[in-house]
Amino acid sequence: MRIRNKYLLVWVTLLGMALGSVRSAPAITNGQPDGTGHPYVGVLVFDVDGEPAWLCTGSLIAPTVVLTAGHCTDGAAGARVWFDSQVTDPNFPYGGGTSIEATAIHTHPDFCIGCARGLPGFDTHDVGIVILSEEVTGKGFAALPTQGFVDLLPMNTAVTLVGYGGQEQTRGIPPHRWLINISRYFAPAQLVQSNDRMSDEYIKLTANPAQGKGGTCFGDSGGPDLLGNIVLAVNSLVTNGNCAGVTYSNRIDTAYALAFIDSFLP
């Protein structure tokens, strides 16, 4: 989920559920610091009216091309990305320092909030692309799947979640808030096979810490769900404010997603 508030990015707390339940995209829970594990995954800050407005995660798929979620790119007038495993740039969330500015931001033309089928009626075509102003080298790239790749995977396939979102929730007197320190985390999850109406566009993943599974939460929107270095899907939504149970991610192995992404690749 993206964090949407121009004061969000002050290192301390992520805004809680007042940000609109599933309208924002999730963060890595029950995870570990990623270090150099996935250097091609970065944290994106998007601007509205010249000011930082929300935070998401994205994956470098070509030297100047970052893949993220459509609800991250939608409505943004500017953006920048950091690929540091822990962002300590004093300029954050503004430009300069170790950030790389975007020259263009693209949302799938059929992206739509409230148009999806299934449980939350969240969105559809939740895919976005950010074009960077300079090439990024030495970090490798996430790989795209072939069309229909997810349909070949068995139930309980191990998947790795990567993102910069909140990892810990405050306790005690409500409102409980998710804490974020702008660090890249990863966590294990498992693919939950289903034949519901959402399965042709979303994958469903476990997010149960009691079973040793990680999940996504606020700030992880657009981050990759990986099999090796193949992006199966990008994080889209959670179904509750505790970021537990199951999470949903927009599949990248669909014809519409691959065609959209390919149009920006060199």
Question: Are 114 and 197 within one domain?
Answer: no
Asked if residue 21 belongs to a domain, the reply is: no
Peptide bond into 175 cis (omega under 30): yes
Asked if residue 25 belongs to a domain, the reply is: no
High-pLDDT (> 70) share of the chain, %:
69
Q: Is the model's pLDDT at 253 over the cut of 70?
A: yes
Question: Are 97 and 153 within one domain?
Answer: no
pTM greater than 0.85: no
Torsion of the alpha carbons at 233, 234, 238 and 239, rounded to the nearest 10: -40
Q: Work out the pLDDT band at 179, boundaries 50, 70, 90.
A: low
Question: Are 92 and 173 within one domain?
Answer: no
Q: Is the model's pLDDT at 116 over the cut of 90?
A: no
Strand spans (E) along the chain: 3-4, 32-33, 41-48, 51-62, 65-68, 78-82, 100-107, 112-113, 123-124, 128-132, 158-163, 168-169, 178-179, 185-192, 202-207, 224-227, 230-238, 245-251
Question: Are 112 and 200 within one domain?
Answer: no
Domain count, the chain: 2
Question: Are 211 and 159 within one domain?
Answer: yes
Q: Is the model's pLDDT at 241 over the cut of 80?
A: no
Asked if residue 16 belongs to a domain, the reply is: no
Q: What are phi and psi of 61, to 5 degrees?
A: -115, -5
Asked if residue 106 belongs to a domain, the reply is: yes
Question: Are 108 and 160 within one domain?
Answer: no
Question: Are 129 and 203 within one domain?
Answer: no
How far apart CA 215 and CA 218 sit, in angstroms, is 10
Question: Are 129 and 187 within one domain?
Answer: no
> Residue 99 belongs to a domain with what CATH number?
2.40.10.10
Question: Are 104 and 137 within one domain?
Answer: yes
Which structural domain, as residue segments, surrounds residue 96?
3-8+39-141+258-262
Asked if residue 14 belongs to a domain, the reply is: no
Residue 34 contacts by C-beta under 8 Å, 6 or more apart in sequence?
Answer: 41, 85, 162, 183, 184, 185, 186
Question: Are 103 and 48 within one domain?
Answer: yes
Both tokens of residue 50?
């010249």
Q: Is the model's pLDDT at 104 over the cut of 80?
A: yes
